[in-house]
Amino acid sequence: MVRIYIGMVAGTLPKNVKPARISPDPVPSAYSNSTKPIIRTGVNRLEMQNTGTDRKAYSIHTSSGMDMDGLIKAIRHQNLGIRWRAALALGDIGEPAIKPLIRAMRENDHDVRWLAGLALGHIGERAIPQLLRALSEEDHDVRWHATRVLAGMGQVAIPHMIAALHDEDSDTQWRSAYVLSNIGEPAVEPLILALKDPLWWVRVRAAWALGEIGDRRAVEPLIQSVNDMDWYVRWSAADALGKIGDKRAAVCLSKALKEPDSFVQVPATWALGKLGSDAPVDTLIQCLKSGDWYVRWGAADALGNIGDARALDALRELAGDKDEYVRRAADNAIAKIGKKGGS
């Protein structure tokens, strides 16, 4: 068993996926469904302004209409007002601007990438296929901005992201799950349905996203998933239940502690540690005697989080454990229980 398991139990995302939650751009999903003249609106946005910088922005247009290349150049302008209005105009142009904006997201300038993302968010659902392709690009920042824009689109992006969970590329799967977790409540029901998908990796990503969202509607479906035929799904479901922290999961997770599969036992210990007084302390104490170091480690960590003094004697016995991680977890647990009034 490799030590990276500790990172898995802690909920670590795959390489190149940032753990912090996204702050999506405030782009109403209804924007992309509105009916508007494609070129004229962009011109009017600039034409109505009176300041000198806005006149410069308007001068980007040719006499025959909108100069796409000029607007793309304008989002690199040193003046923020010009960059901002050029981005709005590109968003109004719609579909013809999508590929140039995707290319702009590959530039080194962070502001250019952000404004290109803003424009793509205004374009809305029509930009989603290109944004999904951007999730697989080698450049991390391009992937990150694509993720941010998709999350900002809200409900309109959900069916596309559910479909992307089926992609064979693991990074695309995880980023799609991450987008869904940031969309939040509207994605809960589609994700619950995805827990029954024939593909194991779809069920895994769906369980993870539901744990991140934390909606209690997912508790019963996740409890069922703890019995999934695939160990990775069982692990993900137990992990998600721990994040949600609903006491209904206590019985199910207690049973998971008695499974022969340590890959299920460990996330179950971690999840039970989140449930506090509702967790089965006696069963967790028994897990301290497991032959698997990672089960002992998980149980010690959980008992420290629960803070029940009944576990102190068993934790002290781990002072001579052959595994450093277990000894450290036991010491930390004893300290935590002491702070909570145990002795």
Supply the DSSP string of 274-309, one letter for each residue. HHGGGS-HHHHHHHTT-SSHHHHHHHHHHHHHHT-G
pTM of the model: 0.69
Question: How far is it, in rounded angstroms, from Cα 105 to Cα 127?
Answer: 13
- Is the pLDDT at 119 greater than 60, yes or no? yes
Domains of the chain, CATH where assigned:
16-261 (1.25.10)
3-state secondary structure of 65: strand
DSSP letter for 125, please.
Answer: G
71-112 pLDDT, tens digit each: 777 777 777 677 777 777 777 777 777 887 777 777 777 777
Q: What is the predicted pLDDT for the residue at 343?
A: 57
Q: What is the predicted pLDDT for the residue at 342?
A: 60
Question: How far is it, in rounded angstroms, from Cα 280 to Cα 254?
Answer: 7
Q: Which residue has the higher pLDDT, 123 or 41?
A: 123
**What is the pLDDT confidence band of residue 7, given thresholds at 50, 70 and 90?**
very low
- Is the pLDDT at 142 greater than 90, yes or no? no
Of the chain, the percentage scoring pLDDT greater than 70 comes to 78
Smallest CA-to-CA distance from 161 within 169, 152, 151 is with 151
Question: How far is it, in rounded angstroms, from Cα 82 to Cα 85?
Answer: 5
- Is the pLDDT at 180 greater than 90, yes or no? yes
**What is the pLDDT confidence band of residue 41, given thresholds at 50, 70 and 90?**
very low
What is the b/e burial string over 21-52, where b = at least 16 CB atoms within 10 angstroms of the residue's CB? ebebbebebebbeeeeeebebbbebbeeeeee
| Helix, strand, coil share of the chain (percent; to 5) | 70, 0, 30
What is the pLDDT averaged over residues 122-148? 79
Q: What is the predicted pLDDT for the residue at 62?
A: 35
Q: What is the predicted pLDDT for the residue at 212?
A: 95
- Is the pLDDT at 131 greater than 60, yes or no? yes
Q: What is the predicted pLDDT for the residue at 181?
A: 94
274-326 pLDDT, tens digit each: 877 667 888 899 999 998 898 999 999 999 989 899 999 999 999 889 999 99
**What is the pLDDT confidence band of residue 270, given thresholds at 50, 70 and 90?**
confident
Q: What is the predicted pLDDT for the residue at 39?
A: 36
Q: What is the predicted pLDDT for the residue at 25?
A: 40
Q: What is the predicted pLDDT for the residue at 117?
A: 78
Smallest CA-to-CA distance from 203 within 192, 211, 195 is with 195
Smallest CA-to-CA distance from 310 within 332, 331, 290, 280 is with 280
189-246 pLDDT, tens digit each: 999 999 999 999 999 999 999 999 999 999 999 999 988 989 899 889 988 998 998 8
Q: What is the predicted pLDDT for the residue at 1?
A: 38
Smallest CA-to-CA distance from 76 within 65, 87, 68 is with 87
Residue type, 303: L
